[in-house]
Every structure is written in structure tokens, then in C-alpha cells.
Structure 1
Amino acid sequence: MPVTRMTMSSREPDVALAVIRGLQPGFDFNRDRDDGPFSFAADGVSDERLSLQRLDLICTAHGEADPMTSYTVCQTTTPLRILVGRRQLDTSRPFLYPRAPIRSSWEHEARSSAVQLDIDAVDALARQYFGRPGLRVRFTGGAPIDAERERHWRAVAGHALGPGAERGVFDDPLLRDTLFRMAAAALLSDFPNSTLDLPPAHDGGVAVPATIRRAIAYMEEHIAEPIGLLDVAEASRLSPRGLQDAFHRIVGVSPMQYLRSLRLSAAHADLLAADIVHQDTVTAIAHRWGFSHVPRFAAAYRTQYGEYPRDTLAR
């Protein structure tokens, strides 16, 4: 994995904007006073799975940004106001950026540090640890679970952003892998998410049977088609009962529950990217991904994502 390092400073707002957009998609900001003081400094190091960043932006301004494309936990040392819709985040503690558009504002200076983790890499680590090949992590809150977990995250992030970011550590592949695993494990341990009540696999991971791999591949390939248990069982070369037993034992859910989760995830992505101008609707997106009964789709969506589809669409 290639390592990228960045250290820079500038008094040009356009330079700051370009750099921050590389870390926070769609970021834009407006200074409250064009003639006020302005400076920007950033340093960081990253590879494909882990990014460690420090930013210092001197100005009074307000901004907005698109949903994050990574798990990003931020800590600030200056007051920062962040709104997700009408909800204000508590930025006095470490906070996990929501995967939703945000609005922010600050006075005089915004100084922060961030640990960014690739979503797919975190999911892969969780699947290995819990021995569940179909597992996808779902975070249900953006603040640490309690004071003890907050102290733990601060300690891990402090190590990662300090000694861990040093060239002699981060440039070493084995040490860098250990650093990623430590940060990902802390994220799963310290912030509320869907894995907290799962028992680990006995040996830290299990081999996924070929039958399960075939079933999952078939579901992913035909996700928008009206397939059922018999179709998936035939593709996996198992009987329907055998497939159900294997899924419950290895994945932890039934095949149809797993398929529904895949479809809900696809619908969630479409709702986030929806264009109201082109008349994307909850009903159209539900039907696109095989949900013919929209109220049942809305109920299942709310269970998985903590809000109704119309709320996601309205962002």
C-alpha cells in the first residue's frame, strides 16, 4: 500500500479549500469577513485504509460538506459547531462524523485532528473477528459509549496521531497494519454500533464455506431481481433447509434476511444520492430494489438505519 504524506501551510483560502476537500467531500466555506486574518496549516499521513490528519484554519467562517466516505473520528481543541439537519453534534468530545451532509461554523480558529478509516476495511476486519462473512457494521451513534470508552479512544488516537504517524512507524508495513487494526478495533469498541453484542469467533475467524460464498455472490449479482430462497439454494447447491441452517450458523441471519439487508443498503445509497429535480421518490427507489410494499420497506429501513426513507431523501 503506498504511503502519502502532506505538510503545508498557506494564506490562500482557495488552497485551503482544495486540501480540505480531499479529506472531507464537497467541503465549502465562506469567511464572515473577507478582510479578516486568514491562514491554514495541515499535516497528515495516509494509505488506502488509514489516514491521520491535523488541520488548523484561522478565520471566522461557516461551511458545509457532503457525507463522509470513510469512518472519520474528529477531535477539536477549539469550539466548533456542527449541525446534521437540526441536530447539533457534541464536539467537546471525540465524535464520529455522520454519513450525512453537515453544516459547520467557528469563530477565529478551527483546530482539529482526525483518524479516518476505510469503511470496507473496517467491515472486513469485523467479519474476520466475528466469523460472520456477511457482516456489515452499522453505527448507531456518534459519541463514545461512556467516559471510559472516551478515554480509551483518546489514548488510541493520541498514539496513532503521535508516535504512530512518525515516518519510522507508519512507513513500516507491519507496524502500519498493526496501527490500522488498533484504530479499527477501538472504533468498534468505543462507539455504539451493531457489533457490540456479537460474540467473537472462537479462533478469531472462520473459513467461509463455498456454498455460502456462492449464495452471497448470487444474491449480489441478482439483487434487484425477484429471486427467492429456492433460487439462492439452487445457486449455492444446497437444499433450502440446508442453506438456511448454514446461513444461521455462519452468517447469523437467514438467507432472505441477508438479501433484504443488501437491498436496504442499495436503497440507502440511492436515497442519499437522490435528485429531487429528476423526481426520485421513496416509492420509485423501493420498487427499484425489489420492495413492492412501501410501508413494509419503510419499517425495515427505519430498523436498519434509524430513520425513515423520506428523512434520508429530504437531506
Structure 2
Amino acid sequence: MGQILRVRSHGVDDVERVWKQFIPGARLDRVDPRNIAFAWTSVELPGFSTVSYELGAGVHSSVRVDEQFMACRLVADDARVEAEGRAIDPRRPWVTSEAGAEAQWARSARVRAFVFDRSDAERIARLASGDDRLVLRRMEPEGRSRDATTQWERAFVHVSTSLMSLHDDDLIAAELRRHALLTTLSTFSTPFVEAVERQRQRSAAPRTVRRAIAFIEEHAREPLTLEEIAAASGMSSRGLQHAFRRALDTTPTEYLRRVRLSGAHEELRAGTAISVADVARRWGFSSASRFARYHREHYGQNPAQIARMF
């Protein structure tokens, strides 16, 4: 099922040639050819690869992906990484999807990466999350927490080491691929995390709250009142507020704002917005400044920063 590739080289062309076998959009923008040393090991399965390599050379590289996404850990004393137009901590794992990323270092680096085929990953993620419409786009490049990124690094060591000896065992290799994918999708702020959380809330909440959640998500871009949400759930306004507080530790109004904020954020990242104020208005925020405050509190960035990235 799997194929192992090992390459040892001192040639610049070999570095880019090997990378492009796994990610066609990978590119060496600048590389110091003096004393270059390249050592590559990878295991390739259908729809998934593990990559480990060491590159001794000054490098400025970039990667653009469309039908894939990649989770990566770069170890270098002087590394710099940029993704989605901003610098990220090179000491922790990061993920790149369609927005791409750039990395550079002056002397040498060790790189570990999971590379996933997007369509195959979406199929597995839909089954795991219960969301048949899940699309793996627009992922936040940095991990959700230090503990989460530490768990990703442990998963990488486990999966890559195991596949070196078990890559021809179809059943075990498929399970290792699934473990790598779900760990990666849980490490970063991805649509998978949101889908799992929605499913958890719906499963745990009473039927009336689930009806209200479905109504809110379907009509989030329309003018909604608490009374309309309550009527759709078959409860009084006061009863619904108590039910939300007990089941979700929030209120229907707060939940509506969170859904609207998520939708506006995704629209900004899609790069189709005319202006931040226009997006805010379409998603039910009467005040652009209040929308900016909510967005900054939830995502750590002003909406204008997100819009400029795309």
C-alpha cells in the first residue's frame, strides 16, 4: 500500500524535484548552493504522506496548495515562517491550506510534515464529524493551544515511525492515516473542530434547543428576534433562554451572534467582500465598529486585517 522514498543529495535541483513529487506548488525561491546537504525520508500512502528531511543550506521557500493541505514542523535556530500574510511562531507546528506559506532559514533546518489530499481528507472528516457538507478550507495556520501542538508532534513521531515498518499492512496504514488526519484537524482551528462542536451541542441539548439551533443557523443572515427563535423551537422566550443556559452555557442571542460572526469571518477569508462594513451589515451587525470589536475578541485580529490577507 505504501511507498518509502529515501534521498541523499548535495544538489539544489534534487531538493525542489523531490518536494514537487508530493506538493506540486512547493518552490525554492532562494537557496545558497554552497555546501548543500539534503537528506529526505518519506512514506506515501493513497491520499497521504509523511515527510521528514534535513536541509543544510540557506533557504527561502514557499508553498501553495489547492488540492492538498499540509501540517508542518520546522526546527531551525534562525527560522522565519509567514502564513496568510503574518508571521507565525516557527517553534510550533503550523498548517497551510490554499493561502500558502513561506519559510526561510540561514544555515540548516529539519522539517517534519503530514501532507493530505484534500478530497480524501474531507471524506474522512465528514464521516468522523457527522457533517456531510464539511469543506476543509480556510484553516487558521497556528495551533489552538500549546497542548494541542504538543499532541500533534507526538502523533507525527508515532505515525511516521510506525509507517516505516507497517506501510504495507493496508488496515494498519489506513488507521494511522486516519489518526494523523484527525489529530491535525483537531490541533488547528479548522471547520472540522467547529463541526464536531456543533454536533456535540446538538447531541447533548434538548430537542427544543436543537430546533432553535437549526433555525438560527438557517436564518442567521435574516433579521431575527428572540421571540421568533422561541416560536420556532416551540417554547416561550424565557423558557428558551433557561434551556440554552442549562444546555450550552450561553443564550440564544449570544449563540446567534456567534453564528453570524463565524459566517462573516468566513466571508472575509473567502476574499469576495467589498468592504468590512458591507460584510457586517449582511450578517446582521448594525454597527461596523461593534462588529470589529466582537471579531477582535473572538479571532484576535481586526476584520480589516483578515480582508487584506485575501
TM-score scaled to structure 2, two decimals?
Answer: 0.65
Match for residue 167 of structure 2?
A: 167
Work out the CA distance in 1 between the residues paired with 2:248 and 2:68.
Answer: 24
Among candidates 210, 217, 228, match of residue 225 of structure 2: 228
Q: Residue type matched to 1:163 in 2? A: S
Match for residue 146 of structure 2?
A: 145
Q: Residue type matched to 1:224 in 2? A: R
Match for residue 293 of structure 1?
A: 287
1:53 aligns with 2:54: no
The structure-2 alpha-carbon separation of the partners of 1:291 and 1:185, relative to structure 1 and needing over 3 Å to count, comes to closer
Tell me how far 1:162 sits from its aligned partner. Answer: 1.5
Contact 1:68–1:98 (CA under 8 A) maintained in structure 2: no
Contact 1:16–1:40 (CA under 8 A) maintained in structure 2: no
Work out the CA distance in 2 between the residues paired with 1:45 and 1:213.
Answer: 42
The structure-2 alpha-carbon separation of the partners of 1:221 and 1:110, relative to structure 1 and needing over 3 Å to count, comes to same
Q: Residue type matched to 1:295 in 2? A: S
Contact 2:80–2:104 (CA under 8 A) maintained in structure 1: yes
Among candidates 299, 303, 309, match of residue 305 of structure 1: 299
Among candidates 241, 263, 270, match of residue 238 of structure 2: 241
Q: Which secondary structure state, in structure 2, belongs to the residue aligned with residue 290 of structure 1? A: coil
Q: CA RMSD in A?
A: 4.9
Count of matched residue positions in the alignment of Structure 1 and Structure 2: 279
Tell me how far 1:125 sits from its aligned partner. Answer: 7.9
Tell me how far 1:222 sits from its aligned partner. Answer: 1.5
Contact 2:212–2:230 (CA under 8 A) maintained in structure 1: yes
The structure-2 alpha-carbon separation of the partners of 1:86 and 1:211, relative to structure 1 and needing over 3 Å to count, comes to closer
TM-score scaled to structure 1, two decimals?
Answer: 0.64
Query: What percent identity do the matched residue pairs reach?
Result: 25
Tell me how far 1:250 sits from its aligned partner. Answer: 1.9
Instruction: Write out aligned runs for 1:1-315 (5 A).
Output: 11=14, 13=16, 16-17=19-20, 19-21=22-24, 28-32=27-31, 43-44=42-43, 53-56=50-53, 61-65=59-63, 73-78=71-76, 80-84=79-83, 88-91=87-90, 93-97=91-95, 102-106=101-105, 111-115=110-114, 142=143, 145=146, 154-163=153-162, 166-167=166-167, 171-172=171-172, 176=176, 179=179, 183=183, 187=187, 207-275=204-272, 280-315=274-309
The structure-2 alpha-carbon separation of the partners of 1:143 and 1:245, relative to structure 1 and needing over 3 Å to count, comes to closer
Q: Which secondary structure state, in structure 2, belongs to the residue aligned with residue 74 of structure 1? A: strand
Tell me how far 1:31 sits from its aligned partner. Answer: 3.9
Contact 2:26–2:64 (CA under 8 A) maintained in structure 1: yes
Superposed CA offset, 1:163-187 (max 9, x none): 2673377724995598469946984
Structure 1 unmatched runs, 5+: 128-137, 189-193, 196-200
Work out the CA distance in 1 between the residues paired with 2:293 and 2:20.
Answer: 40
Q: Which secondary structure state, in structure 2, belongs to the residue aligned with residue 258 of structure 1? A: helix
The structure in which a higher percent of residues are helix is 2
Contact 1:152–1:186 (CA under 8 A) maintained in structure 2: no
